[in-house]
Structure 1
Amino acid sequence: MAGIFEDQEYNKSATQYVAHGVEDQEPRPPYHDSPSSFRAIIPDDGHIVSQHEQQNLIRGLSQRHVQMIAIAGAIGTGLFLGLGGSIATGGPLGALLGYVFVGAVVCAIQFSLGEVSALLPVTGSFVRHAEVLVDPALAFAVGWNVVYGCFISVPSEISASVVLIQYWTDINAAVWVTILIIISVVVAISFIRVYGEVEFVFAILKILLVIFVVILGLVIDLGGVPGVPRLGFHYWKDPGSFVEYIATGSWGCFLGFWAVMTNAVYSFAGVESLAMAAAETKNPRHNIPKACKRVFARITIFYLAAVLVVGMIVSSQDDRLGWDGSTAAQSPFVIAASDAGIKAIPSIVNAVCLTSAWSASNQSILAGTRTLYGLAIKGHAPKVFLWTSKWGVPYMCVLLQVAFSLLAYMCISNEALTVFFWFVDLTAAGTLVSWITIALNHIRLLKALKKQGISPDQLPWHNRITKYTSWFALIYCIIILLTGGFTVFTKGNWDPASFVSSYLDIPLVLGAYGGYKLIHRTKIVSLQAVPITQALEEAENDPDNVPIVKNRSFWSKINILWG
């Protein structure tokens, strides 16, 4: 592993492969028209942002779309339904500290992603970055891990959506699965702007609900509901600010806090997807970093405020927090509202949770299809996945995604659904693998800059603290990945299924990495060979690389949501 962080020898062919994608190929036209009027694309052509992306993908995502995709990725069912489990496991203060630490990690990851994406705004984001900055074998391993995880996530989110719909109706689940698959396919094959508008609307709904439930929680806590006493920080004192988990005393409180952090990671899963469609984003070298920068404010406002309020209005010993029904009934906000006699809240929370689940499905489709497209550009996937429609959509990638979406019909059978979600759990660690790759890419970029004598200030976007925060995120993510299933190692809690779901992804990724290196004889990219100068030249010559004029009005300074 030391070679990943330090310079080492390399051969000419390896350098050509990393910098150009192929070895000594004759230049050919970027595409040809197929009989069906779709465009089939040939291999990479030597550019950082390839001609395939420039000519066959359409930049339909504007700055507001990218901003809201970041919000939609950070707010999901984990916030509305999962906070109760975190309070029950770690207590109000343990949950708050857990989300603070993981929030800091997410912010560090987003800064790393924004800095590298501003220089290399390619389809596939950090997967393609690993090809240039670390090792083609790592891009292959992590890329297929992302594709697999995203493609399996789609039917799981559709299944979760059906469960939420059945909160209101008893109509056969197959009907709702069919409707949701059709709608998802329509959005997936449409112009990328359609996806951006859908996520924009969903993000607005999520923001409004978060603001509403936080204010509602404060009103309930402060005794603003007739007949409900003022709570204040009562539940922080009784039963206490921490919960003993597995063990007793201080050690048990620490384990509860640690269990919250491992759960919080998956609540934030998806925030990295905002850069997956960089080649389909207008002015990506400015808009993507700007979206990444604002993650810290969103996490502070939404998650930390929500965790704080939930810990004030619901007891960590409330048995309803442990119910695993995956509907609004388990939401701590619904529990508090029901106790206060407010009956309309469950349906409101359930409706927005439904949009959150479907939004997560759409994000998985975008991340999975664009990663697969990026793998095909570099020859890590069949070239058939490079075919795009006249709207600039890699439709063959979408068709493969549709095939996986059909697995959602397994939710019709409870036994099949149990097995299916067990397989879904196998990809849970994939989020941490992706974050580790993002941090590693950024560390390698900074080392390459130093090796080549180029100032980081020449990057399209750079923040001085990232040279420290990327190491923090890398180390912290590795620790969480290795300890994510610590419960199974405690006395009396061994569970083979939990062990496999927590750790199987590690040998799968390492096996894919080692196998690719063994077959293709790739080497870790030399720091001197990282094509930074070429990337900077392409950025300078990019006609879309136009600095955004800052709005210095009062409202622009306090607008931390999408401006």
Structure 2
Amino acid sequence: MDDEKKSTPSIYSANRPDSAVAGDLQRGLSGRHLNFIAIGGTIGTGFFIGSGVALNKAGPVGCLLSYLFVGTILYSVMVSLGEMATFIPTAGAFSAYATRFVDSSLGFAVGWLYWFSWAMTYALSLTAAGLIVQYWDPSINIGILIAVFWVVFTAVNFLPVHIYGELEMWLSMLKVITIVGFIIFGICVAGGVGDEGRLGFTYWVNPGPFSEYIVEGAVGKFVGFWAVLIQASFAYQGAELVGVGAGEARDPRKTVPRAIKTTFWGILFLFCATIFIMGMIVRSDDGALLTEKSDASASPLVIAATRAGVDVLAHIINAVLLTAVLSAANSNVYSGSRILVALADEGQAPAIFKRTTKHGIPYMAVACTAAFGLLGFLNLSSEGGRVFNWFMNISGVAGLLTWAGTCLSFVGFRRAMEAQEIPRSELPYISPWQPWLAIYGLFFCLLVALTQGFTAFMPWNTADFFAAYISLIIFVVLYLGHKIWFRDAFVDPRTADLARGRYYEAHEKQPLPPASPLVSDGEEERRERL
């Protein structure tokens, strides 16, 4: 156990911007790296293609309102995360904060479910990349493409973190440029540049601002709004990756708050502006929106370009889709591996995952996470594909539960600050309207997570029910299993750990390390066993 502790990030090495100690995560990510890691993990095929399905379900105005409303939920999560991540910047922050400020069982359940969701998403991203390449040449074997992409992006995650950050920045920048280009293109089309003439807000009038979904009338319009609310929640997930990278950010007191603000407003603008323009130039009842394809032909951006007579745009969008999923695959391995490091650091995963190279790369955590990408080969058979789809249903709700856990952790963090009489003036960043904003986010994250499978009840479908709620079932099993096995009490705010991993400026006096972590006897015994 003593040997493993040498691999643990500490306030004496990893907290310094110039850390280069072998065995520690190193602070090699700048603010721009954090921004683009979050953007890269958020903007993927789910937005480029899934937004068309959202437009069909809710209509142009209903779809826009759904994305705006979820944006307020995301804001509550991001500012809550920002306050904690600047005070105690640690890799894989979500599970660590839940363990320290609320309950070790909550940290265990949130951490492992979140890790599994990113590991499975890596397999999905590799598969999606293969399908996108087949748009140009259907004869290419998708298994070969999955293998090639797996080797390349697994290798990238073994490189020093600043190299990973640079690559992610350039891949994500292509997506941002494409979205901005589409917004400009859409404004021109709405103004009359295209085969269909001037459109303006024609489609807001016919077929209408709101669409009916499943049922008719006003209830059907609300159901459409709520269905897109769930879809928008999934689309925004990935923005919280700023918190994952906080443990490797240079000068987190300055870079993390700036990155969180820039990431939130950037993603909100890109998403909502695109949805707004899309509703102006694509009919919500256009049959092309309902295709099950995963390449450019299913994107509402391409549908709009085709209607306007610009066919070549389909190939450009398909190329951008390829960079989008590869960027997402890059982020999947990074975020999943850092969550494993956080779990190991809290004694909730084998200590071997804390081992790092001399460049600060947690190679065991990266290897374990990347190995799940090989599950993408399940899609080569019909039976395996069904199993794979069940696994992938976990990722969406796992993100919502992580958001909820972050808000709840913030409430526990504030209680601990008050109980230990630490003034708020010591916080590098103070989030607004707290703790009410965190409570608002907690309530709606749980509400959306509990209702996201409502279509299984209209009418009742057993298979759809389990597909929609399997992640919640896994979360409950993980939580109750950990609680029954270890019987750890909820964290007492008076003894919550507010010291370990705290970042100090170079001119500040750093406290001596505590003789032992502020954890319960059961927690200490579990760490020894691991």
- Picking from 80, 92, 95, the partner of 1:124 is 92
Unaligned runs of 5+ in 2: 510-530
Match of 1:82 in 2: 50
Give the secondary structure class of the aligned counterpart of 2:315: helix
Aligned equivalent of 1:207, options 162, 176, 183: 176
Partner in structure 2 of residue 197 of structure 1: 166
Contact 2:154 2:333 in 1 (8 A): no
Picking from 424, 427, 430, the partner of 1:459 is 427
Q: Secondary structure of the residue that 1:189 maps to in structure 2?
A: coil
Q: How many residues align?
A: 505
Taking only aligned residues, the RMSD between alpha carbons, in angstroms, comes to 2.4
Following superposition, the deviation at residue 412 of structure 1 comes to 2.4
* Partner secondary structure for residue 127 of structure 2: helix
Q: Given the alignment, which residue of 323, 329, 333 partners 1:355?
A: 323
* 1:309-324 equivalences in 2 (<5 Å): 309-324=277-292
Partner in structure 2 of residue 94 of structure 1: 62
Q: Which residue of 1 aligns with 2:514?
A: none
- Structure 1 Cα separation of the partners of residues 142 and 265 of structure 2: 39
1:503 aligns to 2:469 (yes or no): yes
Partner Cα distance (2:161, 2:287) in 1: 44
Q: Which letter maps to 2:313?
A: I
Judged with a 3 Å threshold, the aligned counterparts in structure 2 of structure 1 residues 457 and 338 are, in CA distance, closer, same or farther, namely same
Counterparts of residues 298-447 of structure 1 (less than 5 Å): 298-447=266-415
Q: CA deviation at 1:70?
A: 2.5
Choose from 539, 550, 557 the match for 2:503. Answer: 539
List per-residue Cα deviations over 1:437-477 (Å, max 9, x = no partner).
11111111122223333332321110232422211111011
Which 4+ residue blocks in structure 1 deviate beyond 6 angstroms? Answer: 43-54
Aligned partner of 2:130 in structure 1 is: 162
In structure 1, the gaps of 5 or more residues are: 1-24, 32-40, 546-563
In structure 2, how many angstroms separate the alpha carbons of the residues matched to 1:420 and 1:29? Answer: 35
Q: Deviations over 1:33-78 (max 9, x none)?
A: xxxxxxxx3x788999799997522221112111222322332222
Q: 2:492 matched to which residue of 1?
A: 526
Q: More deviation in 377-386 or 193-202?
A: 377-386
Of the three residues 138, 142, 157, the one matched with 1:188 is 157
CA distance in 2, matches of 1:46, 1:190: 24
Q: Distance in 1 between matches of 2:100 and 2:370?
A: 30
Aligned to 2:518: none
Question: Partners in 1 of 2:136 and 2:275 — Cα distance?
Answer: 28
Aligned match of 2:141: 172
Match of 1:224 among 180, 183, 193: 193
Quote the sequence identity (%). Answer: 33
Secondary structure of 2:395's aligned partner? coil
SS of the residue 2:372 aligns to = helix
Matched-pair contact (CA < 8 Å) for 1:235–1:311: yes
Q: Specify the alignment match of 1:289 in structure 2.
A: 257
| Contact preservation (8 Å) 1:49, 1:120 | no
- Structure 1 equivalent of residue 81 of structure 2: 113
- Provide the C-alpha distance between the structure 1 equivalents of 2:235 and 2:259, rounded to a whole number of angstroms: 19
2:239 corresponds in structure 1 to 271
**Structure 2 counterpart of 1:561:** none
Structure 2: distance between partners of 1:479 and 1:306: 26
Q: Note if contact 1:384-1:396 (Cα within 8 Å) is conserved in structure 2.
A: yes
**Could you tell me how far 1:414 is from its partner in structure 2?**
4.0
C-alpha contact 1:108 1:466 (8 A) present in aligned 2: no
| TM-score, with length taken from structure 2 | 0.90
Aligned residue for 1:315, secondary structure, equals coil
Deviation at 1:216, TM superposition (A): 0.8
Q: CA, structure 1 residues 472+81, in 2 after alignment: closer, same or farther (shift >3 Å)?
A: same
Q: 1:507 to 1:544 in 2, by over 3 A?
A: farther
Distance 1:47 1:466, change over 3 A: farther
Q: Taking structure 1 as reference, are residues 78 and 218 closer, same or farther at Cα in structure 2, changes over 3 Å only?
A: same
**1:539, distance to aligned residue in structure 2 (A):** 3.4
Give 1:371's aligned amino acid. Answer: I
Asked whether the 8 Å contact 1:337–1:343 carries over to 2, the reply is: yes
Contact 2:94 2:110 in 1 (8 A): no
Deviations 1:218-254 (A, max 9, x none): 11111023x4311111111111100111121111111
Evaluate the alpha carbon distance shift between residue 278 and residue 172 of structure 1 in structure 2; reply closer, same or farther with a 3 A threshold: same
How far did residue 343 of structure 1 move?
1.2
Measured at CA, do residues 542 and 511 of structure 1 come closer, stay the same or move farther in structure 2, by a change above 3 Å? Answer: farther
Q: Distance in 1 between matches of 2:62 and 2:493?
A: 42
Cα contact 1:110–1:295 (8 A) shared by 2: no
**Gap change, CA 1:378 and 1:451, over 3 Å in 2:** closer
How many Å separate the matches in 2 of 1:370 and 1:447?
27
Query: How much does 1:185 deviate?
Result: 1.3
Q: Does 1:234 align with 2:202?
A: yes
1:132-162 CA-partner distances (Å, limit 9, x unpaired):
1111111111111111111111111100111
3-state SS of paired residue (1:56):
coil
Q: Is the 8 A contact 1:119 1:535 kept in 2?
A: no
Closer, same or farther: CA 137–439 of 1 in aligned 2, 3 Å = same
1:486 aligned residue = 454
Equivalent pair of 1:131/1:139 in contact (CA under 8 Å): yes
Instruction: Calculate the TM-score normalised by the size of structure 1.
Output: 0.85
Distance 1:48 1:262, change over 3 A: farther
